Amino acid sequence: MPSPLRIAFAGTPDFAAEHLRALLESHHNVVCVYTQPDRPAGRGRRLNPSPVKALALEHGLSVHQPERLKTPDTHAPLIEADIDVLVVVAYGLILPRAVLDIPRIGPINVHASLLPRWRGAAPIQRAIEAGDRESGVTIMAMDEGLDTGDMLLTARVPIEDTTTAATLHDQLAEVGTRALVEALDRMSDQQLTATPQPLDGVTYAAKLSKAEARLDFSQSATVLSQRVRAFNPFPVAWTTLGGDTLRLWQADARVAQGSELDAAPGQLLDGPSDALHVACGEGVLRITHAQLPGGKMLSAHELLNSRRDQLTAGTILGADQ
């Protein structure tokens, strides 16, 4: 068995917590944890710990939550921990050179894309939105750039026509945790070689916004179905039905036929009750799961039964946007 490494972990959301859990179940030693400060959430705006903090406290680990990592006092716990490796997963703060130089072997990062494609904040969502047929995880040696470090290990995952950001997140967390532990084992035995990222194929995954989740039915059904799946579970694609916001959770695309070709973008079409069939700039969007204000997500069949008077053929979705 490879020699155990002393590890400091830096991460914040669920995706990071899954990787911390894998390290805690491995033979390596997590000796301290960094995560972002508690944030207000819910109707009461009470301060909530990050998933990483909650898991770390369950295991009695030392937790540090600086707003920034610019001052020596914020670096001191890392120095005192005498670490071999700093593992960073979706931490959300920029690490200065002074921090990157602390671990004996080096800092490594788990990034949810096949680098150099989709460097940046939202790689899972942007891959689906762009229609990629494959995603993955890259274990990377960190430098001071934005996801520009040398690659140590990759693990690939296919993107299917039904893949959402939620399901891809879970798949990448599963393969990423295995890849992370394998990388650390091989680093321990000095059997891992770093490879520079290719100069071609670099793209950037911009941060998501709620404003971009509103659908424009003049776009093609293929593009819109990719956006619906990319924005599930956040920020959730939406349109309007009458004066209500209709949130769209799952959809796919099909080819328009006959009179459907003459329908206006956003117009509801006749079709089987397993979906809302919506005319688009090109093709038909089949919405299979949606949600109205104050209600839960419903199948299209349930939605048609509850709003049959509004969801008739000829209704224009998004007409009042």
Closest of 113, 118, 109 to residue 152, by C-alpha: 109
Rounded to an integer, the average pLDDT of 236-263 is 95
Closest of 195, 105, 108 to residue 150, by C-alpha: 195
- Give the mean pLDDT of the chain: 95
Rounded to an integer, the average pLDDT of 220-239 is 98
Instruction: Tell me the one-letter amino acid at 24.
Output: L
Do the domains 6-205 and 211-316 sit in the same CATH topology, yes or no? no
Half-sphere exposure in the Cβ direction for 94 (13 Å, CA): 8
CATH superfamily of the domain spanning 211-316: Formyl transferase, C-terminal domain (3.10.25.10)
Fill in the DSSP letter of residue 44. T
Binding residues: 113-116
Per-residue pLDDT for 254 more than 70? yes
- Each residue of 9-38: pLDDT tens digit? 999 999 999 999 999 999 999 999 999 999
Judge contact between 49 and 17, C-beta under 8 A. Answer: no
Instruction: Tell me the one-letter amino acid at 279.
Output: A
Binding residues for (6S)-5,6,7,8-tetrahydrofolate: 113-116
- Each residue of 271-302: pLDDT tens digit? 998 999 999 999 999 999 999 999 999 999 99
Q: How many CB atoms lie within 10 A of CB 46?
A: 10
Instruction: Give the strand pairing for 106-111 and 134-141.
Output: antiparallel
CATH superfamily of the domain spanning 6-205: Formyl transferase, N-terminal domain (3.40.50.170)
Instruction: Give the strand pairing for 284-291 and 298-299.
Output: antiparallel
Rounded to an integer, the average pLDDT of 36-49 is 88
- Each residue of 123-151: pLDDT tens digit? 999 999 999 999 999 999 999 999 999 99
Domain boundaries, the chain: 6-205, 211-316
